[in-house]
Amino acid sequence: MKYLNFLFAKEHRMEIIRIGIVGLASILFWMQILPFPALLVAIGFGVYSLIKTAVLELIHERKIGTELFISIAVIIGILGQEYLAAAIVLMIILIAEYIASVNTETTRASIQDLIGTIPTTTIVYRNNKETTVKIEEVRIGDLTLARTGERILVDGVVIKGTATINQAPITGENTPQEKNEDDTVYAGTIVTSGAINIQVTKLVQDTVFARIIKLVEDAEQNQAPIEKLTDKIASYLIPIVFLFVIGVYLYTRDVKMVIAVLIFTSPAELGLATPLVTISGVARAAKEGILIKGGLYLEELAKVDTFVFDKTGTLTSGIPSVHSVISYDKKYTEKEVLAFAAAADRRSSHPIAKTIVAFAMQQKVSVAEPTQFIVVHGRGVRATVKGKTVLVGNKEFFSENNIPISQEISQTTIFIAVDNSLIGAITISDTIRPEAKKAIELLRTSGVKHFYMLTGDNEKSAQTVAQAIGISEWKANLLPEEKIDYIKTLQKQGRMVAMVGDGINDAPALAQANIGLAIGASGTQAAMDVADIVLVDDNLLKIARAKAISKRSYRTIKENLFVGVGVVHVIGIILVLSHIIGPVEAAAIHLVPDVAVLLNSVKLLRVKIE
């Protein structure tokens, strides 16, 4: 029913009228009811749109498409007095163009259905009153309500209530997520149960949902290399084709054969082979929470043979946690070591300091208030706690204060000294993402040969993470510019490199790599800006999923080119030159690759991709 609606939509009425007039005129002329001038007028009416499109493409885009070929075929038919053949060929080609147009609209509608739609108005609370406003008029700070069965219309924070949210349209997660106060919610997601009040944090055009839609709509702008290649092939083939057609006419003097050859040598499928695949592939990825910024990156990812990963915030959660508390002095228990460290760090805003204080609270350790407090940036803190001078910081900090450390450091370690005497240490770990190892295994199975981890962290910490997830090569203590140099070295070796990072501190490396993948775009505008591919959530398995979708898309393009352009056209030309088929049969057969290419491209939206 939906397809019928597209067939008879208002925008297609003129196409239907053209087909009807040319078809009816052809039948009446064949029955010798309609005079030749009337047939000529009908042909002119039908071919006008093709000629107009052909001329505009030639002038504005310097592109020679199927419209020009068919227009020339019709004109040659009339000049060669093959009036009926020209009319029938024109009618069939108009039908083909009509079907292609309807299928394209259907594809775009399927993509919209796949991603979802947002209502145009919403209710917000202003001055303690409910006000219905257009979604474009929603302001940051506005309060809105989302209830069971409703789609959330804004990116925001829950300020009241609880709800179960289906986030599949944004993150691709199949399992609904529980949302409580202070949790983030996204436009485009659906409340499956409960009700929540949401405070708007982003304008509608800046929401993750809006960015997903824009990426899908703009998918054709960044042409894939294979798409550019098809354009070049078409530009080189066209002069050869016209010379070939002229040669066929000079040798055979057969106008019908020339018309048929022109039909089979038109570059229609070259134009169809890649754009729909690009749109479908990008839309499919977007549905699964993977934002690909265009066909260029869709194809390039399929060719990647080397993955480079950042560590902190990428392979690990990026959230520090206390791994262990160690006492080096028998006078102090582990709890007392922790108490001194937490007291000294109590006023610090450093993430590790906050982690130590929070851990002390969890362990129900009494944390005193320091009477003096000094931060030494990049080193640690100096504080006075219960009349004692307490130093908490890294090995360099202690070395600068002439406090020797002989202990082996296996990971991030914070040392504690009281009155210039080392009393203990706290080891800090960054939790490895549970799916990290599986993601590496899946990428290796997909054909990726080389894996590297580049980090600014220390050697021992880097080794622990790399070995745990199956990466055999890593580099530690790297500055951002050193990461870029390392990627350049890999590229000079002929590698196709994908860099995976958090999209902020790894921005230079993401830009240098052939493909930059940023994770966690739902809260990071910088990630959306710098990366070629963005994972909406922090699930590393989506990297392997993106790779699978890109490989399937690239394969689909090659199928389109081989079948739609290669097999059908070559066989068609052979049949024409062998006098087996004429222009009418050629025009009818011409429908087959058009429809095949369209269906093969659109299936990317639904087909199962392993």
| Active-site amino acid positions | 310
Q: Where are the alpha helices (DSSP H) in 531-577?
A: 541-559, 568-577
Q: DSSP character for 560? A: I
Q: In angstroms, rounded to a whole number, what is the distance separating the alpha carbons of residues 388 and 498?
A: 51
> Token pair for residue 345?
């760090």
Residues near 517 by beta carbon (within 8 Å), at least 6 away in sequence = 498, 499, 500, 501, 510, 531, 532, 533, 534, 535, 543, 546
User: Is the backbone of residue 138 left (phi > 0), alpha (psi -120 to 50) or beta?
Assistant: beta
Q: Are 396 and 430 in contact (CB under 8 A)?
A: no
Residues near 399 by beta carbon (within 8 Å), at least 6 away in sequence = 405
Distances from the Cα of 64 to the Cα of 198, 317, 419, 609, angstroms: 53, 52, 83, 35
Q: DSSP character for 330? A: T
What type of residue is 140? I
CA angle 600, 601, 606 (to 5 degrees): 90
Phi, psi of 244 (to 5 degrees): -65, -45
* Cross-strand bridge partners of residue 190: 151, 166
> Long-range pairs for 212-216 at CB < 8 Å and ≥24 separation?
212/115, 212/170, 212/188, 212/286, 212/291, 212/536, 213/115, 215/282, 215/286, 215/291, 215/292, 215/293, 216/111, 216/115, 216/279, 216/282, 216/283, 216/286
Q: Are 173 and 537 in contact (CB under 8 A)?
A: yes
CA angle 213, 218, 221 (to 5 degrees): 165
Q: Are 353 and 381 in contact (CB under 8 A)?
A: yes
Q: In angstroms, rounded to a whole number, what is the distance separating the alpha carbons of residues 173 and 156?
A: 19
Q: Which residue has the tokens 């050697």?
A: 459
Residues near 506 by beta carbon (within 8 Å), at least 6 away in sequence = 310, 314, 480, 483, 499, 518
Residues near 520 by beta carbon (within 8 Å), at least 6 away in sequence = 313, 502, 503, 527, 535, 536, 537, 538
Q: Compute the CA torsion angle 458, 464, 467, 468 (nearest 10 deg).
A: -140
Q: In angstroms, rounded to a whole number, what is the distance separating the alpha carbons of residues 327 and 385?
A: 18
Q: In angstroms, rounded to a whole number, what is the distance separating the alpha carbons of residues 97 and 67?
A: 9
Q: Where are the beta strands (DSSP E) in 268-387?
A: 290-292, 306-310, 316-327, 372-376, 380-385
Q: In angstroms, rounded to a whole number, what is the distance separating the alpha carbons of residues 337 and 329?
A: 9
Phi, psi of 381 (to 5 degrees): -135, 150
